Amino acid sequence: MNVLLVTVDSLRADRVTSSVMPATRSFADDAVEFTECIANGPSTPASFPAIHASRHFASIEGLGIPPRDADGDIRTLAEMLSDAGFATAGYTDNHFASGSYHYDRGFETMYDASGTAEAGRLKQFVQSNLDKNGALFRTIETVYNRVDALLAGATDADSEYERAASLNERALEWIDEQSDDWFSWLHYMDAHHPYEAPEAYQQQFLDEPLSLSRCRGLSRKGTHHPEDVTDEEWELIRQLYDAECAYIDDQFDALLDALEERDLLEETVILFTADHGELVGEHGHAGHPPEFWEGIVRVPFVLHHPDRDGDAVDGQIRLLDVAPTIADAVGRPPFEGWQGASALPVADGEIGAREYAFGDVGRQIEYGRCCARRADGWKLLRHADDGEFCFDVTEAPAESPADDRSGDGRPEYDELSQALDDHQERMRRFREDGSVGIDEEDAMVEDHLRDLGYL
């Protein structure tokens, strides 16, 4: 049995609909769809330890995961499958999901577009020489967006990242070379800001497609200066995001068609998920700030297994469960150090939903931003200096200030607070035991954050 893992950067669960992503919606209807999957972090650095190594971000000191020889307590899904005889290959264009942070562990082939593209390195030089935090950048931002678009045009790059269609081609070329069981991971970046879908996809949602410069300008305004975004611009940002989701839908469908043409679809376990969601105007933000609103932490989790019928499973699971679920699906025992567990017993009704899902983000804020979400929808968000918020998201999915119950003396708040305290203490002990990734103060980290538009 082969394994295909497709992770989409910044894809909200509520975009897997017949109006935005019809092919993916059809795929989910015929597969085992977990409708309450919670990301264990609001960003790629915070969520990928959970996806690849079934480890909470806060259980590792620094970013990424340790190198293989440095920590026997951490094992990746790729390592487990490689040791079981699977050929392994990964395809990504995100620094924080690449070999730079040791996510190449277990992959015989690792294609990292973020580290190889000449245009990306040139763009990085341009971005590194502009102070985006100062008044000067606000003054020249329009010029910058035009220069950025001209640079893209000069290098034939119509996207900030390598497109999903290109990653598909690379993966399929590798798959065609395999004679035994294989594991392939693809990480699509198209839904990550800036939203700059090809014109054909923009035309599905906008009256007229926008220029590359305008697309990038809106995305940067929404992520860096959201207080200046007008209602009309927020609507454009939402439409551009949906256009990117529609593009991903077509590319994922094309990948499935290619597997079917090769008579591989019914010989392959396929998991489709996302590392986190995205805000498109909710709570006054675009992108995925270090916060834990539902738009950021609710992600799709759809498992195609040739021996399983379609089913919608409502019980809460977590991205932490990706690796154990895939291992279970191909009949392999889980690694004992994994902090998640297979979601298949939840689907089969053998066990209940995960009582708690925890999320963490640490960079320079001492893990002061975190959350706990209970299976019944009660949720506690700690946003450091921004305060605490407690919601019953089944009753108040918008998580508006009027629905905040953090100061109401509710027993649910006390239970969530204690559970989150306990979780943070467990994570602290893990860090002290010596699981060390990349130092958050490393100059490479700042370069990568800037390259991805966070700084």
Residue 130 included in any domain: yes
Residue 251 lies in a domain: yes
Residue 425 covered by a domain: no
Please report whether residue 455 resides in a domain.
no
186 φ/ψ angles, rounded to the nearest 5 degrees? -120, 135
Q: How many structural domains is the chain composed of?
A: 1
- Predicted confidence at residue 113, as pLDDT, reads 86
Q: Residue 88 half-sphere exposure, CB side, CA atoms within 13 Å?
A: 18
Token pair of 12, please? 């909200």
Does residue 122 lie within any of the structural domains? yes
Give the pLDDT score at 123.
39
Spatial separation of the C-alpha atoms in residues 425 and 447, rounded to whole Å: 31
Q: Find the CATH number of the domain harbouring 206.
A: 3.40.720.10
Q: How far is CA 149 from CA 123, 163, 193, 240, 434, in A?
A: 10, 16, 14, 16, 44
Question: 194: cis peptide before it, omega within 30°?
Answer: yes
Diameter of the chain by CA atoms? 61
What pTM value is reported for the model?
0.88
Q: Which of 1, 3, 6 is nearest to 253 (CA)?
A: 6
Q: Residue 305 has what pLDDT? A: 98
Name the CA radius of gyration of the chain, rounded: 21
HSE value, Cβ hemisphere, 13 Å, CA-based, for 49: 31
10-residue mean pLDDT series, the chain (455 residues): 98 98 98 98 94 95 83 89 98 90 94 62 41 50 47 52 96 97 97 95 96 94 94 97 98 98 97 97 93 97 97 97 98 96 98 96 74 98 93 96 95 97 93 67 57 54
What's residue 62's pLDDT? 86
Residues spanned by the domain of 164:
2-354
447 token code pair: 């370069």
Element holding 274 (H helix, E strand): strand 268-274
For residue 381, being part of any structural domain is answered with no
pLDDT the model gives residue 139 = 52
Q: Is residue 428 part of a domain?
A: no
d(CA 451, CA 455): 8
